[in-house]
A and B are shown apart, each in its own frame.
Chain A
């Protein structure tokens, strides 16, 4: 197995609801190695997004531990968590979350602005990322001028431009038609194979599942199945 870059031990997440708590994740034990192309699958409310948020240091576990790139998520302060996200983790959202006032180029460049790179280095990296997703001709367009598929490709470029170790994709194809979904997934698959980036999806889309190499099924906040798809096939 590859080196483990994500380790989740006895991870539990509870949210306060009224006077009590709602338990979104219970005793999750998972490990992800470098270069995995894995998916958290399950119905709505099964805890997929919550788990991605914790891995992405946007949230912390209530119990147990989550260690990402050797760092315990619960022990990180705001600045350290931000630093981890900026350098090691890329996010792809269902609704793209592109910044509407920026051009495609600027949206992709954004992640690099926090890394004190020179303008030339940034330009090179952004153009390379846009090339990966086939959008070099749209660098000056605003998100409002793009189709849904193009927006998601910009989001992929944005998540990949800083060459992170992990990309977390939350329902990346939910707003896309079949053709665009396959295009997006093929792009991500290619980046996974060529750059060795770990992709973790949260999805209940059958199209996404076709591409996964590892499928982790969640139900009611618990892992009910964890299988390597390619081995099964």
Chain B
């Protein structure tokens, strides 16, 4: 307690020097927390969006299906078993039939992936209700990225050409029923959604699907299908976000090192300039180890004051940012990221940051303070 009290008094007594160090360290504090909260917020939003728009709680894949192998997709389809059909009827399974096709917007040729999905599904947020065909019109829905790439808008028509199961080319005029706004690039880029039954008829693939989107947590075994959990399907997203986190850490560490260097420098200067004070402490009855403790706590307390100062301007700043979000605009980076990312501040993140800064500032304070233990009290009293 005494060491704490002394350290606190000495720190405040040092005035501007202390507040400069504390300001730099608090900036490091706030930026580290903010950056990680942004990554966490992005992670949470992206996972939620991907689950809401594309994968739900997982997917059952046809054994040959490989989403990165466009040549295999056309052959990766099979009939739904009775157990699968039963789950579809229960509303926990959504079959999707995927085939490669070509569209001709404004006379240009563009390869796309045609996705057949039941218009009455309610598992994914896709506005599939708009796929319900009226008369002879074949309605499709597309995402904003696809719309931009193909220069299509709601109400536009576009010619679709595909090969059915026998390899015969066929074509039909599609009508864009709506353009949806979705943050999941994979569910949007190059994708055209069409009613599942209509697509089966077009392809000649009755009751067949490429994958089954599952929205429950029981994960039953469905014969002939390979279950891919949400965690498995989100692995790439997690890896991408983690790589961002690591590259961010480098910047955070540099920032923290600058702040810690300031504390280290202050400590060295303090010990050099305050030798007489050190001698006085010893003459008044403190052991050298206690004086080392006082100086170490004094340095470490920079981080406590920095946390308080950071909280003083950081909390209002964070609350404001959380109310407006960070606008990533229309920058389409080909990854799942919301137009507005809302940072997520967890107790764990704040505590971990405080702990890292506290421990590192204690270490950089202790290293120069160890010198006191070797100081002769008689020399210290003379300021030598």
A56 CA to B12 CA in the complex, in Å?
31
- Of the A-B pairs whose beta carbons lie under 8 Å apart in the complex, a sample of 13, sorted by A's number, is A59-B377, A78-B288, A82-B290, A83-B285, A85-B284, A86-B284, A93-B280, A93-B283, A97-B276, A97-B277, A97-B280, A99-B277, A99-B280
A223 CA to B12 CA in the complex, in Å?
47
* Contact partner, B283, options A50, A58, A83, A101, Cβ 8 Å: A58
Chain B residues with Cβ below 8 Å from A211 are none
Chain B residues with Cβ below 8 Å from A78 are 287-289
Stretch of A39-47, A105-113, A195-203 with 4 or more beta carbons under 8 angstroms from chain B? A105-113
If A58-B378, A101-B10, A101-B14 touch, whether A85 touches B2 (CB-CB below 8 Å) is: no
A158 CA to B285 CA in the complex, in Å?
12
A97 CA to B2 CA in the complex, in Å?
19
Question: Residue A29 at the B interface, CB < 8 A?
Answer: no
| Interface range on chain B (Cβ under 8 Å from partner) | 20 to 34
Question: Residue B9 at the A interface, CB < 8 A?
Answer: yes
Chain A residues with Cβ below 8 Å from B286 are 82, 114
Question: Residue A136 at the B interface, CB < 8 A?
Answer: no
Question: Residue A53 at the B interface, CB < 8 A?
Answer: yes
* Contact partner, A82, options B10, B12, B276, B282, Cβ 8 Å: B282
- Write the residues of chain B forming the contact surface with A, with a CB cutoff of 8 angstroms: 2, 5, 9-10, 12-14, 276-277, 279-280, 282-290, 376-378, 381
If A99-B277, A100-B13, A101-B10 touch, whether A93 touches B285 (CB-CB below 8 Å) is: no
Chain A residue nearest to B380 in the complex (CB):
A58
- Write the residues of chain A forming the contact surface with B, with a CB cutoff of 8 angstroms: 50, 53, 56, 58-59, 78-79, 82-83, 85-87, 91, 93, 95, 97, 99-102, 106, 110-111, 113-114, 158
If A53-B378, A59-B378, A93-B381 touch, whether A102 touches B9 (CB-CB below 8 Å) is: yes
Contact assessment for A58 and B288 in the assembled complex, using a CB-CB cutoff below 8 Å: no
Contact assessment for A79 and B284 in the assembled complex, using a CB-CB cutoff below 8 Å: no
Chain B residue nearest to A168 in the complex (CB):
B283
Q: How far is the CB of A135 from chain B (nearest CB, A)?
A: 18
A91 CA to B282 CA in the complex, in Å?
11
Identify 18 new A-B residue pairs, CB closer than 8 A, beyond the known A87-B285, A97-B276, A101-B10.
A56-B283, A58-B282, A58-B378, A59-B376, A82-B285, A82-B290, A85-B283, A85-B284, A85-B285, A91-B284, A97-B277, A97-B283, A97-B381, A100-B277, A101-B9, A113-B2, A114-B2, A114-B285
